[in-house]
Amino acid sequence: MKKIYQLVIIFIAMNVLVITPELKAQRPMHEIHSMLIFNFIKYIDWPDAAKSGDFIIAVYGDDDVYEQLNKFYSNRPIKGQSAQIINVSSVEELSSAHVIYLSGSKSRDFESLQTKFSGKPTLLITDKSGLGKKGSCINFREVGGKLKFEINQASFDSNQLKISNQLVTMGIMI
């Protein structure tokens, strides 16, 4: 219970983080995104059919996020499964994944990614204004100089994912 409490406190602190040039110098944005992605996973439940084999986290368009996730999380079990962090350079390279992080620089591929994984138990996390409303499960956005994240409940439902109420209370519901 104490560990859960600590994780919630860390997660809340990350949610209200003020983005300043000084802070960016101390903690680069790719590290913040990587930590949040890993923490999001803890508050989401996948259907039983997705609970076998490797737990795959795919990063598309951000080598720094990939390297950070790989460095800290590739040797840890995630949801009782072996973690596999993959870096992809096109939508075609992806056949399945539990989590896909789509960087803002590759947002033009959002619709093809969304079509390919529609109805599949895949958590799609994006970093581009407007993609939350278009169907991303979680989308990073800056609000008043603070890093926040949007949650699209309809996308969670259509992708057969269950999100914890704790995470819902920390995000911006759209």
Query: What confidence score (pLDDT) does residue 21 get?
Result: 46
Question: Contact 57/84 with Cβ under 8 angstroms?
Answer: yes
pLDDT in tens, 106-162: 999 999 999 999 999 999 999 999 999 999 999 999 888 889 999 999 999 999 999
Give the containing element (helix H, strand E) for 104.
Answer: none
Query: What confidence score (pLDDT) does residue 16 get?
Result: 44
| Domain count along the chain | 1
CATH number at residue 89: 3.40.50
**What value does the mean pLDDT of the chain take?**
88
Residue 3 pLDDT grade (very low, low, confident, very high; cuts 50, 70, 90): low
pLDDT in tens, 115-131: 999 999 999 999 999 99
Give the containing element (helix H, strand E) for 106.
Answer: none
Query: What confidence score (pLDDT) does residue 26 get?
Result: 72
> What percentage of residues in the chain have a pLDDT greater than 70?
86
- CA–CA distance, 146 with 134 (Å, rounded to integer): 22
Query: What confidence score (pLDDT) does residue 20 get?
Result: 45
Domain that holds residue 122: 2-173
- CA–CA distance, 129 with 74 (Å, rounded to integer): 29
Angle between helices 63-73 and 29-42 (to 10 degrees): 50
Q: Indicate the burial class of 45 (C-beta count within 10 angstroms; 0-12, 13-18, 19 or more).
A: middle
pLDDT in tens, 29-38: 999 999 999 9
Residue 9 pLDDT grade (very low, low, confident, very high; cuts 50, 70, 90): very low
Q: Is the pLDDT of residue 6 over 50?
A: no
